[in-house]
Amino acid sequence: MTDLNDPKDPLDHLPVTIEEEMRSSYLAYAMSVIVSRALPDVRDGLKPVHRRILYAMRESGFTADKPYRKSARAVGDVMGKYHPHGDSSIYDAMVRMAQPWSMRVPLIDGQGNFGSVDGDSPAAMRYTEARLAKSASFLLDDIDRGTVDFQPNYDESEDEPRVLPAAFPNLLVNGASGIAVGMATNIPTHNPGEIIDATLAMIADPEITLDELMKIVPGPDFPTGGIIMGRRGIRLAFETGRGSIPVRARAEIEDIRKDRKAIVVTEIPYQVNKATLQEKIADLVRAKEIEGISDIRDESDRSGMRIVIELKRDATPDVVLNQLYRFTQLQTSFAVNCLALDDGRPRTMGLRDVLEAFIRFREEVILRRARFDLNKARDRGHLLVGLVLAVANIDEVIALIRAAPDAAAAREALMTRQWNAADVVPLLALIHDEGNVVEDGKVRLTEAQARGILELRLQRLTGLEREKIQAELDEVAAKINDLLEIIGSHVRRMEVMREELTAVRAALTSPRMTEISDALGDQSDESLVEPGQMVVTITRDGFIKRTPLDIFRAQNRGGRGRTAAGRRGDDVVVRSFNAHTHQWVLFFSSGGKAYREKVWRLPEASPTAKGRALVNLLPELGADSITAVLPLPQDETLWEPLHLVFATASGNVRRNRLSDFRNIRASGLIAMKLDEGDRLIGVATCREGQDVFLATRKARCVRFQITDDTLRVFAGRDSSGVRGIRLQPGDEVNSLCVLNHVDATVEERAAYLKAANAKRRALQQDEETEEPEEELAEDSEAVATVGDLAPERFEEMERQEEILLTVTDAGFGRRSSAYDYRVSGRGGLGIANMTLANPRRGKEVVATLPVLEGEDIMMVTDVGRLVRTPVGQIRVMARQASGVTLCRVGDEERVAAVFPVMESEGEEGDDDVAAPDDPTPADSAGE
């Protein structure tokens, strides 16, 4: 017993703190987990448990050419001899190596229930049967030929290999996953034919680049198929060993019935549980996070996977599919972390690193095998030399043996006798044998040769058998020379490796299962959005929202409308427009900065909701307010020939290329330099030769043509522009629009207006009296010739005619022909836009905008009411007319904004009553 009080006790001289003990113990544990459990070896791509399973099954004879054996036998052998852990961990590892949806090249051939892609557990090991797959032989071949090192097992009763002499890069072919202490690995599977081809290419050219390798191995190849989206993640993973690879299920949209479509999924991403996937989809449908799905069922069978997701009649299949990609595991990202043991140390490796490590290891295997085979061949050649010597001196050999009292004496007599070396010296040189010592032309037999002679059967003394001995000796000599060449030449070893890899490729090659799509790339959130028309509303205090257009129904002129945006204190709606969900929208602030957003990114809300503050949507907006918005064409190819024309409240204008605003950062872009106290009121797209139309609150307007002389293109964005209209005191510009320029003289415009107004009055009267169409045509042709304007010219001007709508704050308005607004010079006082003599009809002009026959307009009041009215119900009048009632407003209510609706929608509901035309004397007088 150790005496703790003995000063000479060595324990007193080795004090250890608890921190040091825990540190050393933890490091030992961590290294044990890293090296002996969790991480694969780069050489054979196997963890210890997988390596032990394959080796134990080979040693037990459970090979591909033998019958199946109970899995419990294999598990018991592994656990009892090599792997002192629970049987469940061993069985789970063996099951995975037998699952074709887990391994690109299964290494175990299983019979029975080995689980399913739905996550079903395999049957107990006492029920299932297994044996090695044919592919496993390429990992185990030559293991008994000195190719790898062995080590004692856990109780030193058996020897087990440290690594298997793998004949192909199994780490890349079958991948690996594992969690160690402080590190983890996750390596995807690859196509065996592509990986072997890449190995052959690296053997042929050790300096091959990664780009050249990626032409051979474009990316991972998962056993469950799927589609890899883009190559950026693949490139990063192959280069650094780390990367994220997005994988998407393979799905098609099919017609299942006359009016029903379904999304059919035939391949899912790697390591996705099919049953869990379907449960997740069902949960999202129940939670109404994904709408448009009516049913989901699994029609998978032996022929393949088939998940049918039936859609509702009104669902958009592409949108539903993109939502499934976004919110479920129909699209996942495989996080590549290619961490493996290289020379016993964890190392993160790219594609080239793994292939280089495998080639080095395989060359070592070939070298060690050649040395092993050389020793065997030399031993056999050495024995054959003795037999040749005995046959050449058969009489003397027989006499020595007959004279010997026993076998030991006979062996000793053969070994001590000196034989003539003339017959064997050439043979010794042929097989490079140094076992026999030749002195003075004599040679002595070795013990092995003497034993071989004593065991020689008499039939080998015939002439034919003597020839066979010589032929075998020649064959051994050729083999020895070949092995010596392999041992001494790196080039020769590479040739052997190339031949063996070619044979493995012929046995393992299979078509690629996973598609790599450059077209998909990274998925945009835009693909998740249902396409459609939206009404975008902006308030004076900076709240914005979008509402589906079909919520609002068309009303007759004079209707009361429906409640839209509610008020927040004295907040009022100041700007509204309609646009497609996938359109870009430019926002221009009062400070002259530009911002850009897609319509679908704007917050969606009901007509009565407040919306969301623009300062939250555009964080860099600051104290500025949005004073102009511009929806851009959805097709970006149409942007190139377009320009932007800016207008400020003080009457300044400027023209820039639209391409100057193609790239706008999140913090915004300076769009226009503004004078002190000025603000931006409008921005519109335009082309060379069109006309700019500016209108003011005090009913003044100006129209001038866009040319380099009148309004040049500004190269920069820091200019305040030039004067567009000269304003009277207290007036400001509130409308900007771009009109098509028509070359017409003053006389032609006057004649056209007179004829067109007469035609409109005649048509209106004819509609009221319901005259036949033939008579209407005759009346129209008659009025078209008024004012000596030829019918052809009248029709031409009629086709090019644009109609402008002017609305006052009291809800009055009228349409006028653009021919009524003459083209003048830029910077003048302009002409009258409307007569504002009667305050009841309005004190100010709210907006002047071009409209089309057949479309609707939306009027927004400062209390949040929206009124939608067909343009066709608004009369066309002279430019200075005060108009008719478009909508009724309260005493304290005013129209705040007017904008066109690009398409008519059907009637919706009956909660709003359409009012008839207002035949008041004021309307008649105004006309």
Q: Are strands 260-267 and 307-311 parallel, antiparallel or unpaired?
A: antiparallel
Task: Kindly state the average pLDDT of the residues 836-850.
Answer: 87
Task: Kindly state the average pLDDT of the residues 410-418.
Answer: 84
Q: Where are the alpha helices (DSSP H) in 455-489?
A: 463-488
User: Confidence class of residue 772 from pLDDT cuts 50, 70 and 90?
Assistant: very low
Tell me, rounded to whole angstroms, the distance of Cα 723 from its chain centroid. Answer: 50
User: Confidence class of residue 909 from pLDDT cuts 50, 70 and 90?
Assistant: very low
Number of neighbours of residue 240 by Cβ within 10 angstroms? 14
Q: Is the pLDDT of residue 127 over 70?
A: yes
* DSSP 3-state of 364: helix
pLDDT tens digits, one per residue of 201-260 = 999 999 999 999 999 999 999 999 999 998 999 999 999 999 999 999 999 999 888 778
* DSSP 3-state of 145: coil
Contacts of residue 340, Cβ cutoff 8 Å, sequence gap at least 6: 39, 40, 41, 42, 45, 171, 176, 185, 187, 346, 347, 349, 354
pLDDT tens digits, one per residue of 421-466 = 676 777 777 776 666 767 766 778 888 888 888 887 777 666 667 7
Which is more confidently placed, 89 or 772? 89
Task: Kindly state the average pLDDT of the residues 605-617.
Answer: 76
Task: Kindly state the average pLDDT of the residues 735-753.
Answer: 87
User: If one looks up domain 250-329 in CATH, what number appears?
Assistant: 3.30.1360.40
pLDDT reported for residue 781? 44
Whole-angstrom Cα distance, residue 302 to residue 282? 25
Q: Is the pLDDT of residue 326 over 90?
A: no
Tell me, rounded to whole angstroms, the distance of Cα 694 from its chain centroid. Answer: 47
pLDDT tens digits, one per residue of 525-541 = 565 566 778 888 877 66
Q: Is the pLDDT of residue 917 over 50?
A: no
For 788-794, the CB contacts below 8 A with 24+ separation are: 788/751, 789/748, 789/751, 789/752, 789/755, 793/748, 794/752, 794/755, 794/756
Strand partners, 177: 186
pLDDT reported for residue 912? 38
Task: Yes or no: say if 821 and 805 are a contact pair by the CB < 8 Å rule.
Answer: no
pLDDT reported for residue 783? 43
Angle ∠(922,926,927) on CA atoms, nearest 5: 120
User: Confidence class of residue 504 from pLDDT cuts 50, 70 and 90?
Assistant: very high
User: Confidence class of residue 915 from pLDDT cuts 50, 70 and 90?
Assistant: very low
pLDDT reported for residue 923? 34
Tokens matching residue 77: 């052998």
Of 231, 266, 258, 265, give the one whose Cα is nearest residue 245.
231
pLDDT reported for residue 75? 96
pLDDT reported for residue 411? 85
Whole-angstrom Cα distance, residue 562 to residue 551? 10
Task: Kindly state the average pLDDT of the residues 40-56.
Answer: 95
In this chain, the answer to whether the domains covering 250-329 and 370-500 adopt an identical fold is no
Residue linked to tokens 């290294």: 31
End-to-end Cα distance, the chain: 124
Task: Yes or no: say if 274 and 118 are a contact pair by the CB < 8 Å rule.
Answer: yes
Of all residues in the chain, the percent with pLDDT exceeding 90 is 38
Ranking 196-205, 460-469, 570-579 by mean pLDDT, the lowest is: 570-579
Most confident listed range (161-170, 563-572, 874-883, 910-919): 161-170
Residue linked to tokens 């065991």: 455
Q: Check: CATH 3.40.50.10860 for 39-166?
A: no
Which is more confidently placed, 903 or 577? 577
Q: Is the pLDDT of residue 723 over 80?
A: yes
Task: Yes or no: say if 321 and 308 are a contact pair by the CB < 8 Å rule.
Answer: no
Q: Where are the beta strands (DSSP E) in 493-650?
A: 515-517, 533-539, 543-548, 562-563, 573-580, 584-589, 593-598, 612-613, 626-631, 643-648
Whole-angstrom Cα distance, residue 814 to residue 848? 10
Tokens matching residue 591: 């400070």
Whole-angstrom Cα distance, residue 356 to residue 449? 44
Q: Is the pLDDT of residue 570 over 80?
A: no
pLDDT reported for residue 87? 92
User: Confidence class of residue 57 from pLDDT cuts 50, 70 and 90?
Assistant: very high
Please give the torsion angle defined by the CA atoms of residues 890, 893, 896 and 901, in that order, rounded to the nearest 10 degrees: -30
pLDDT reported for residue 482? 92
Would you identify the CATH topology of the domain 370-500? Topoisomerase; domain 3 (1.10.268)
Whole-angstrom Cα distance, residue 557 to residue 868? 8
- The residues spanned by each domain of the chain are 1-27, 39-166, 250-329, 370-500, 747-789
Active site residues: 127
Tokens matching residue 63: 């090979």
pLDDT reported for residue 562? 55
Rounded to the nearest integer, the mean pLDDT of the chain is 83
User: Confidence class of residue 512 from pLDDT cuts 50, 70 and 90?
Assistant: very high
User: Confidence class of residue 342 from pLDDT cuts 50, 70 and 90?
Assistant: very high
Task: Kindly state the average pLDDT of the residues 700-706.
Answer: 92
User: Confidence class of residue 734 from pLDDT cuts 50, 70 and 90?
Assistant: confident
pLDDT reported for residue 522? 46
Task: Yes or no: say if 573 and 621 are a contact pair by the CB < 8 Å rule.
Answer: no
Q: Which residues of 798-828 are buried (b: 16+ CB within 10 A; e: fewer)?
A: eeebbbbbbbbbbbbbbbbbbbbbebeebbe
Task: Kindly state the average pLDDT of the residues 621-648.
Answer: 77
Strand partners, 347: 340
Whole-angstrom Cα distance, residue 676 to residue 375? 98
